[in-house]
Structure formats: C-alpha cells, structure tokens
Amino acid sequence: MGTGEFGDLPFPRQQTESSMKKTLTAIAMLLAASAAHAQDTITIEFAYPYSHLFDVTYEKILPKFKEQHPNIDVKIRATYESYEDGTNTILREAVAGTLPDVTMQGLNRQAILVEKGIAKSLEPFILKEEDFAKDGYHDAMLTLGTFNDDIYGLPFSVSLPVGYYNMDVMAKAGITSADQLPKTWDEVVEVCGTLREAGVRNPMFWGWNITGNWFLQALMWSQDKATMEGTEIQIASPEGLKALETMKGLFRGCDMQNIEWKAALASFSAGEIGMMFWSTSALGAVERAKGDFELKTNEYPGLVASGPMGLPAGGNAAMLVSSSDDPKVLDASWKWLKFITSGEGAADVARTTGYMPPNKAANEVILADFYTQNPNKDTAVRQLPLLRDWQAYPGDNGLAITQVIYDGIEGIVTGEFEDMGELQEELTEEVQDLLPSN
Amino acid sequence: MSDASLPATSTISLPAFRFSAAETIKHAVLILGSLIVLLPFYVMLSYSFKSPAEIMQNTGGFFGMQELFRDDYCIKLGRDAADCMVTPVIYNYTTAFEKAPLVRYLFNGVVVTASIFFIQVLVALPCAYALAKLRFWGREAVFGLVLFCLLIPVHAIALPLYIMLAKLGLTNTYAALVIPWTISVFGIFLMRQFFMTVPDDLIDAARMDGMSEFSIIWNVMLPTAIPALLAFAIFSVVAHWNDYFWPRIVVTGDRSLFTPPLGLREFKGDADGDNFGPMMATATIIVAPLIVAFMIAQRRFIEGVTLSGMK
C-alpha cells in the first residue's frame, strides 16, 4: 500500500519544477532589455552514439557554439549505444513521431534513412551558404554523405584503418624506426615469422571482425575496387580472390588467434602482440590501456609497396531528421550541423578522440601544430587522400549480408576454409541471393 | 558417570562427521555451480576497483594497486595534468555517480518497479481470487488463457506495444515504463495457485459475517497471502529493476528518465574501447540493493515459493 507514495511523487515534483521555471522566466523577462530576446530562444534536439567517446567532444563544442549562437539551445538526448542502435532508434522514432532534429549516424547506415525519406536533403541550406567550399568541405568528404546527387549527411568524425606497433616487440625483429615498419601484407607475414622465431607467440592481430566487413572493404579498396557495384557483390572478381588469399596468408602466416576485439586490446596492452591492425579511432583506448612500451602508429600496409590505393572511411555523419516545419528550427539545426562539422567545432573531434575531422580547413589550419605534437594521430591524416566509401549493402538484407561475409571470414581464421576459390564462389552465391535483383 | 558420558557424546556427534560419497558429490557440484555463478560478480567487483590499464593488462590482483593514474577526460577538457591524477577506486565510483547521474536513475528505478509491483498486486489479487474461489461460467477457459499468455515472450509483442504507446503520445514517460507490465499473468497464476490451498471454510465464515467479496480479498486473502506476495515481489522487482530491453525501447529522448541499467551505456565505446572501471562500479551499485534485499528476505522467499505450489 505504501508504494503508492512513490507513484505520486513525480507529479508534484514536476509541478514545482515548472512553477520554478515560470518564476525564473518571469525574472529573466524583467531583466532582459528587450522582452523579445527571451522568446526568441530556439531549442533543437540532438542525439549521438558512444557516450564514452563523444561526451567530452560535445562538452567542449557546446560552450563555443553557445557563444556564437546565444539564442539556440541544444538539448542532448539519450545516446545510442552503437551505430546499429542509432539507426534502429531513428526508425522507431520516425513511427512514433518523436524524431530529434539532428542525429549522428554511422557512415554506412545513412542510406537507409535516405531511402525511407526520414533524412532531409541539406542542399537548400548549402545553396544559401556563400563560401561553403572555403569552410573546408571538400568533395571526397562530401561524397560520403551524397545520395542521388543530393547531400544528406555531413561527416563529423572519420576514421581509417591504421597499424599499431609495439616498438619494444618489433625491436626483436630488428625493427627500430618507423621507416622499417612493413609496407605490404607480405612483409607483415615475413615479420611475423621473424617474431615467432624470436619467441613472440602471438605476433599480430588483424581487425577482420570490425562491423560492416570494414577490413574486407579495405582490401578491396586497396586494389581500387569497390565491394559493391550497383547491386552486384564483387567478391567474384580477381580482386575479391586476392583479398581472400591475402587474409588467408596473414592468418596462417602469423598464426593469428581467433579472438574478439576486447581480448586483442588486452593482449596488445599487455605487450604480447607486436602488430595490431585496427581503426585509428581506438587510439585513445589503446593509449589509456597500454603497458610501459613505445607505441607507434603507421600507414596501413598495401598489397604492393606503394601502399593501398584506397581505404574505406569509418565514423559518423550528422543528418537532419527534424520533423518540424518551422524554418527557425530548421535553420538552427543547420547552424548546429555546420558548426560541429567545420572550424573550431570540427577541430575538437581530433583534440578529444582518435578520429579525424573530415574538414580540410580544420585539419590543415587549426590543427597544424596539434598533429606535430601527436604524431600517432597524424597517421590517419596522411592517409586522407585514400578516403573511400564504407559501402552499405543495398536492400532490406544489409545486416544479414554483413553476417554472411563475417561468417565466411571467420571460417578462414578458424581454418574451416582452405580453398579460397571455393569460398569465393560460396560467398558470392549466398550474398547475391540476399541482394535485391533488378 | 564420566565414562558413560564420553561414548554417548561421540555417538551423538558421529553422524556429523560421517563420510558419505553422495553428500560429497552433491556438495562438490553445488560448490562448482556457485563458483560459476559468483565468478562474474567477482570480476565486476574487482574491475570496479581497478584502473583502465590494470583492467586491460589483467594485473593488480583483486583490489588493484590503487596507484594514481591520469584521467584523459579531464585532460581533454583542458585542465592541468597535475589536477587530473585520480585514484582508481574513487574515480570509478565518482564517475559512476557524476557522469551517469546514478542517483536520479536509482530514483527512477524505485518509482518504476514500485509502481509496477503495486498495480500488479492490485490486479492480480482479485483475478486470482476469482479464478480460485468463485464459480462462474468459463472459468477454466479464462484460466487457460492466463496460462496461454504465460507463453508469449515480451519481445514478440514489443513493437505493437511500442506503436500503441507512441500513438497515445506516451513514449518517453514513466507511464510507458509502467503500463505494459501492470497486468502480470505470472502474478495471477502464482496467486491463484496459492489461493487454491486456502480452505473454503475461511471464506465462508467471512461471507457469513457479511463481508463483501472485495472486502474478503483485501482483509482476509491478502494477509494470508503475504509469503506468496513476497515471492512474487522478488520475481517482479528483480525483473523490472534489471530490465534493459524495454526502457531502452521506450526511452529515447529524455536521459533523466533512464532506469539504472541504462546508465551502463554511458561508458560504452565498443570498437574504440569501453570504460570498464566506472561501468562495473555502476553495475555493482545497481545489483547491491537486490542482493541486500534477497539476503534479508531469503527465508521468506523460499517459504513463499514452496507455499504457493511452485515446487
């Protein structure tokens, strides 16, 4: 019976809160020189993934934004726990009619929101901007959020695959400086052999298990080949076979264990793994967790000595999903969207995370000194010219296709598949069945 | 006398020390089982004491070395490195309370679980009474439906429920967290089983004294049902206190409506590294009230389960 007290509690609380607010607003109105000022405040709602990574970024950006736009309030919603969760939440909120104004979505999950008509085109706002290109937005970045020739998403944080090296372990293979680090996957396998002879049991970890088959796409782009062309999966191509063979060579040659990311990070931190290939975005986590050894990041190896010809971009983009018709709200949303993806706002991405701001001006002007002081963060920036799409699989079976390919690659790691030609056929057939046919 | 008493004591105390293979195996299995169950709690508690580096490198023993480490979050906000040195255990627990406003979440948890349980009892007792003690046409069919509803997993009906609440404009409110759980078929079933064991004479006597049916439920049946209600309370409170799925679905806008388990997500980074220390500190704080409550109510709980025929 006593439990009723709890049930009643929130309501009087809210009442006192709202009456407090009323008094406060009244005071503010009296104090403000013009009464109109208080009424002009526009609130926009905003949601993003990965609290632990980006909370600090927005905490830094918000005061700067507020300074420039004192009459826009950005209300931050509950964060998404992952990119997939972010997409699910937006799809659900679209049904319920409770969409936020601006949302951050995984680069490979933008397409579905555009297809379903939830995301709004940013073209009308871009047309109104005078020096959009001068603000540092350049084509390679903009294509990541372009669908049917319209821009829907502005990339906010971008990551590329890089190599993490424990230089204390690498010294056992006679490698002591960055220019001696392996440049091709064949060299990686060679170093693995030397390290194993020197008694390193677990020389290498390769992030095949990153969401969205990111590393398969990395090997495909390395050969300048898209994984998806229209509605055709390209695993059947010679480049596809080369990608699978390269993986097999790496897994066998380095005797790589089938461990999940958390275990790999733990082993690398403990100094057991010499080379780890993963996203640059994990740099903060690696630095925080690592033991007492020298860490160096270096360019992602390629299939030939000149390095990869392209690499898929990871990360997230800002999208306008506001269901409001009020031009003031839309305009305020655009201002926020633009602020976080350009200038000081974008520079804070690099300052607080392992990601890069996808903005030329921010990287080259504001952050010039920053990268000299943080050489490990500079690796990904040097790779920026290689930036390509993180491709989504079209149709409703996108997630299922990701899983089919994931299972296939896992089979190479565990040794279930030996004949890559056979695997190539099998994967192509299974994936093609799941793709829409036109 | 003393001669006679000695063998007597030894014969009495002997059975306590007698070796029995069956008992030993039983205990070995139970000890093994409890170790498996307790291990995650051990890890949780240990991580909540340690620094990120100790957690990832698996060093520092159970409590960690408690050496100062640098809090990156604080550095990134532009403060001086000297002011950002923190002791792991203090950092983990203060971060749990500050970054995720855990007090607010715990308050939400109490409001939600208490409201759910209160309304569940309000509904389940009269239903169970009717199903157990009143004779009416179709009673068995209704009971059959109750049993059938037990078989429906909540995940199967989550989307229709969500859309219903959305159309009523109730998402992101306490109501959305409470309403779908107010009718517990499990509660009805449990209480019905218990009421079946209450002798009819008691109810007949109450009727003869002129009590109404509702008055019988609240003044006669409720007091006899306390042990069963306690058992049901544990099932209900544990399920809704720990629920991650449903709050996650309906609370997407307002962080201040989060229930405690949703607080865990504040420390997630997935491929870019999770913040395990504060995450495990949060988990420890969330499970602590449940463990304490279970310890206190342990005997009542087992009584309740056995009494209500859930044998």
**At residue A365, does pLDDT exceed 90?**
no
Contact B57 A284 (CB under 8 A): no
Query: How far does A128 lie from chain B, in Å, by closest CA?
Result: 31
Query: How far does B282 lie from chain A, in Å, by closest CA?
Result: 14
Residues of B in contact with A286 (CB under 8 A): 273
> Residues B276-296: pLDDT tens digits?
888 999 999 999 988 888 888
**Percentage of residues in chain A having pLDDT higher than 90:** 45
Contact criterion met (CB below 8 Å) for B274 and B267: yes
Please tell me the distance from the alpha carbon of residue B105 to that of residue B263, in angstroms, as a whole number: 7
Best mutation target, B237, B272, B282, to test chain A (most A CBs within 10 A)? B272
The residue of chain A nearest to residue B257, with distances taken between CA atoms, is: A78
Q: Can you give the pLDDT at residue A392?
A: 83
Mean pLDDT in residue range A34-58: 79
> What is the bridge-based pairing of β-strands A102-106 and A72-76?
unpaired
Contact A78 B252 (CB under 8 A): yes
Cβ density class B244-273: b for 16+ within 10 Å, e for less? eebbbbbbbbebebbbbbbbbbbbbbbbbb
- The set of residues, in sequence order, having a beta carbon less than 8 Å from that of A46 and lying 6+ positions away, is A74, A75, A76, A77, A100, A101, A102, A103, A336
Confidence of residue B86 (pLDDT cuts 50, 70, 90): confident
> Residues B131-172: pLDDT tens digits?
998 889 999 999 999 999 999 988 899 889 999 998 898 888
Mean pLDDT in residue range B170-191: 91
Query: How far does B272 lie from chain A, in Å, by closest CA?
Result: 4
Q: Can you give the pLDDT at residue A18?
A: 53
Prediction pTM value: 0.79
Amino acid at A101: D
> Residues B249-275: pLDDT tens digits?
898 888 888 999 888 888 877 666 788
Note the ipTM here. 0.76
**At residue B5, does pLDDT exceed 50?**
no
Residue A148: φ, ψ to 5°: 50, 45
Q: Can you give the pLDDT at residue B122?
A: 94
Most confident of A112-116, A243-247, B83-87: A243-247
> Residues B208-243: pLDDT tens digits?
998 898 899 998 888 888 888 888 888 899 899 999
Distances (CA, A) of B207 to B197, B211, B215: 18, 5, 10
Q: Which residues, numbered 236 to 265 in chain A, qualify as contacts with chain B under a Cβ-Cβ cut-off of 8 Å?
A: 261-262, 265
Residue among B253, B73, B245 at smallest CA distance from A47: B253
Contact B99 A93 (CB under 8 A): no
Residue among B270, B111, B176, B184 at smallest CA distance from A207: B270
Lowest mean pLDDT among A171-175, A352-356, B116-120: A352-356
